[in-house]
Structure 1
Amino acid sequence: MSAPRYLIDTNVFIGLEDHAEVAPVFSSLLQLASRHSVGVFVHEAAIDDIRRDKNEERRRVSLSKIKKFPVIKKTTGIDQAALEVRFGRIRKPNDLVDATLLHALDMGVVDFLVTEDQGLHERAERVSPTFGARVLYVADAVSLLQTTYEAIDVVFPAVVEVEAHTLPQDDPIFESLRSDYDGFDIWWRERCVKPMRKCWVVMEDRRIAGLVVRKDEKPAETDASLPGEKILKICTFKVRPESRGVKLGELLLKQVLWYAQTNRYDVVYLTTFPSQKTLISLLEYYGFEHTHDNGNGEIVYEKSLSRSHLQPDPAASLFDLARRNYPRFATGEGVTAYAIPIQEDFHEILFPELIPPKSQMSLFAEVGSQRPGNTIRKVYLCRAPAMITQPGALLFFYKGKSDGFPSQAITTIGIFEEMTFATSTEELRRLAGGRSVYSDVQLRMMNATEKRPVKVINFLLAAHLEPPMSLDDLQTSNVFAERPPQSIKNLAPSQQISVLQRGSFGFAI
């Protein structure tokens, strides 16, 4: 079994505007890779790109930095036309380098590509969701290595609600906020501390890794342009520079959208600078629209939240409809649904926020004492014989008999995106991709082979049933027969509705 290989783009460690922000997390990437015998490579095409740099001194420094990494050679016989068919239009030399890196990833020469280039992430996503999940930001690559190889020590980050005055002003995250906004300290004291404004924070190592500050607004006092009486403004949406990536931003956005939908807001919006490309891509993926600019160099992104039933759109897949309208999803006629039995251990891996907290401690206690949280995009691994083919199908996760609460109950609803098959551990690592929450030991124990492949199910976390729907209720409602299913089970429309009626989602089903 070969060791995993990570291909790093040159922008990970050279040519960035602020080296101080990237260096710590890049060091963590190299340390973790070295500790666990994970190969870190650069590509010959990227070296060619550096050699084209007209700044002689910068070119010399860049080439000296890249020498310590082993090189993936270019594949002969692959021309630009062939790359464009697979990876999209190539307009300039940098695009050709990007497509060449993706080609190495596509061939399986490497398992993951690490880059801060938003355009490269978007190219990969257009190939397929599974392929896109193998292109990682540096922070997410570090998170994946920690989860894969140091799972015993890793605790999922927690979203905690606090008041602004309780946060220490010497926390490093405030330094980056001060550099972004003139007069930040005055604004923070007058607009956040004095009114004790509510915030959500994510803690890592007793420091703030992510911060959201929220504010209720009325139509007469808002910068939002979409219609609505109840408006939620996200005044601050900040992830600490060394923690930037998809996962923490997605975790915070999930908190914002679940809160706004449940509490019947009409509009949620925020302002950001055009340079925040990762945040903008995340917002657009989940249905935010760039409505206007505010005159301060910022752009305004807004999202309408409806409480009506989400009607299928013939022009879009049910999955695309769900992600754009997240956390709403289509239900009823034309929407297939499945019950997916899941063992307790894997349930806790996928949905750690449902693990009952052992104790209530202060915000700055050890992170492990907090209720953990998780992101929106997930992957589930199984060998169930059933096939799921409809993007946007509903997945009802049934937790089997368990020592912990709940036991024998449907707890969670997911939105199906894509199913693929892994026929080896190496392929399983790749297909689980950046969404994986499984350790390498767990992946190897699944023993994926051509005769016994492992199904890789990508989905969005849509909602949790509160309270979970127990086996007694499932049997009484004829969702299950006398015994719960041992494998993935297709549910009839009436059974689907019986489950959904137990939830409170903030919109009509």
Structure 2
Amino acid sequence: MQAEMSFLIDSNIVISAEPFNGQLEDQQPAVSKLLRIAAENGHRVYVHPATLDDLQQTTSAAHRAQNVAAFSKYPALSEMPVPDEVWAVFPASPNPHDQRDARILTALHSGAVHFFITSDERLRKRAIRLGHELRTLRPGEAAVQLAAWHPESPPPPPMVEAVKTYELDERQEIFGSLRADYSPSFDSWLQRVKRESNSRRAWIIRSPEGSYEALALLKMRDTHPTRADDSAIKLSTFKISEGAGGRRLGELLLKAVLRWAASEPGRPSDLFVEVNAKQERLLEFLADFGFFDAGAKTGRDDERIYLKQLDPDELTSSSGLEYHIRYGPPAVGSGQPMYLIPITPSWYVDLFPDATVVGASGSMMLADTFSSPKAHGNAIRKAYLCHSPTKNIPAGSTLLFYRSQGGVRGDGAVVAVGVAEKSQRSSDPIETIELSFKRTVYSASDVAGLHRGGRDVLTILFRHDRFIVPPWPLRELVSNRVVTTWPQSIVRVRNEEGAAWVEQQLSASH
């Protein structure tokens, strides 16, 4: 069974697909890839009449004519009245542009299409406010996810490399925009960073050709941005190349930084980054992983300080999910529902490709090397699908992923920990796709197979918290009353003594 999906594209996607006067839009490669994969696999791509109205506002007559012609290549949805809940995310007196956006969002909100693709950040935020974060995609993200959905020849795996700052190649293209933003002092600053390798840390992700696709530079101890008598870790550079959109390289890079912080003895308890207020996507990304706006940089109203606490407050009252986002990963709140989730070795490798230990036998992956053939493997935010009869896993629950023994007798063990965000049980493949598509580890055939015969599928959206090193083998879980036998399906840990043991182990390993 092939699940046929529908996508609504807005004006910026229509324009990006069509070169004008020989000039390519920045998003043209991602948009072309998206449209090609959709066409090859029978998915439907729609436009909305409001997009035609928007394209007719193009100032240049020649460009306007081309945009209108491009629009006509796609089937258009029908108009529907804009409901009150859609108007609620717009100003009380919407201007013509807002009115066109409201008409487009109505199509998504009403279920006329499965997914909406846009690079308009304001429109995207309004879709999220309506509750459609999982169904709203940027073009690069949509292209990467569709490629994973229809796997043929996955791209070579990206890898995070921890390098000495003196090894950095300042000729790399990724430094170009940084140099332009911070000219003329950037090169002298970078040379100082290279000299101070003992007090700095650096991580890079290379393309298959060797160029830098992502870069993080960190100063291990700097003056705290809000408490002058204290110190903090400064994330001085966090940069993803323009061509790497949708591959979760930001999450992959952030994992490397936070894993370093979790194991670094004597480090300050706060991490901060200074961000230009115009970098809305980066600000949104940071907020989603527990950074909060701590105010403007002194003397620079256009620079915001985003701060993240790495050590929990003793009297925090956050829910399990809020606690994890605010302080982790790794950070698991106490007193949360706890579930043991069995996972086969093949799915484990696909869902957690950056695992350092793969079983109770102690088989090791290379340290400080994270790799994945698909975007989901890079991510902190993941999805897991299964046939468990469990009806619901509450947000904030602690998830203990138990890798079954596979072909190695006695190798079954808890190897990874997650924190639940949302779960949904459904017999409808489309509902499963809509919930999990942005994070999917599964291809179209995988989802079809899970639903074969009308079977229900439980989708669990979660955040990866940490790996357990060394893993907790079954005998240890049984002796500490976490379970009574090996788990064949999802099991809730109900024994208070067993749950307390798990929390003690997690607290000791933080």
Q: TM-score, normalised by structure 1?
A: 0.85
Paired letter, 1:215: K
1:265 matches 2:283: no
Residue aligning to 1:276: 279
1:401 and 2:402 matched: no
Q: 1:487 deviation in Å?
A: 1.3
Q: Which residue of 2 aligns with 1:305?
A: 310
The DSSP-based 3-state class of the residue aligned with 1:21 is coil
Deviations 1:97-155 (A, max 9, x none): 33433333344433322212223333333344xx3122112221122122111265245
Q: Which residue of 212, 215, 218 corresponds with 1:211?
A: 215
Corresponding residue for 1:489?
Answer: 491
Mapped to 1, the partners of 2:151 and 2:430 lie a distance apart of: 18
Task: Between 396-405 and 276-285, report the one with greater CA deviation.
Answer: 396-405
- Give, in whole Å, the separation in 1 of the partners of 2:185 and 2:24: 23
Query: Cα deviations across residues 35-78 of structure 1 (Å, max 9, x unaligned)?
Result: 4443333222212222245565553443344333x1332333x2
Sort the Cα spacing of 1:228 and 1:391 in 2 relative to 1 into closer, same or farther, 3 A.
farther
Q: CA–CA distance in 2 between the matches of 1:376 and 1:94?
A: 35
CA–CA separation in structure 1 for the residues paired with 2:166 and 2:30: 29
Quick check: 276-285 or 111-120, which moved more?
111-120
Secondary structure, aligned partner of 1:175: helix
Q: CA RMSD in A?
A: 3.4
Structure 1 residue runs of 5 or longer lacking an equivalent are: none
Which residue number in structure 1 is paired with residue 51 of structure 2? 46
Deviations 1:401-453 (A, max 9, x none): 2247993111111111111233233332222121112112211211256x522
The answer to whether the 8 A contact 1:321-1:329 is kept is: yes
Q: Are the equivalent residues in 2 in contact too, given 1:260–1:268 (CA < 8 A)?
A: no
| Residue 185 of structure 1, CA deviation | 5.3
Whether 2:301 is the aligned partner of 1:292: answer no
Q: 1:438 aligns with which of 421, 437, 442?
A: 442
Q: Which residue of 2 aligns with 1:253?
A: 254
Partners of 1:310 and 1:11 lie apart in 2 by 47
1:23 maps to a residue whose letter is: Q
Q: Does residue 160 of the first structure (1) align with residue 182 of the second (2)?
A: no
Matches within 5 A, 1:323-472: 323-327=325-329, 329-333=331-335, 335-354=336-355, 374-403=378-407, 407-447=411-451, 451-472=454-475
Question: Structure 1 187/402 Cα, relative in aligned 2: closer, same or farther at 3 Å?
Answer: farther
Q: What is the distance in 1 between the residues matched to 2:188 and 2:10?
A: 38
Q: Is the 8 A contact 2:16 2:25 kept in 1?
A: no
Alpha-carbon distance between aligned partners in 1 of 2:344 and 2:469, rounded to the nearest angstrom: 19
Deviation at 1:502?
Answer: 3.0
Residue pair 1:401, 1:408 contacting (<8 A) in 2 also:
yes
- Aligned residue pairs total 488
26-35 or 40-49, which moves further after superposition?
Answer: 26-35
Counterpart amino acid of residue 420 in structure 1: Q
Q: In 2, are the aligned partners of 1:246 and 1:278 still within 8 Å (CA)?
A: no
In structure 1, what residue type is equivalent to 2:26? Answer: E
Contact kept in structure 1, 2:392 and 2:425, CA below 8 Å: no
Q: Does 1:187 align with 2:188?
A: yes
**Cα deviation, residue 243, structure 1:** 1.6
Q: Give the gaps of 5 or more residues in structure 2.
A: 18-22, 358-362
User: Does the 8 A contact of 2:426 with 2:456 survive in 1?
Assistant: yes
- How many angstroms does 1:506 deviate by? 6.4
Distance 1:286 1:361 in 2: 24
Shift of 1:491: 0.8
CA displacement 1:65-94 (0-9 Å, x = unmatched): 4333x1332333x23425336x66663343
1:193-231 superposed Cα distances (whole Å, 9 cap, x missing partner): 333443112233233221111112243xx5x11578442
1:92 aligned partner: 95
Tell which deviates more after alignment, 469-478 or 25-34: 25-34
Q: TM-score, normalised by structure 2?
A: 0.84
Q: Percent identity?
A: 27
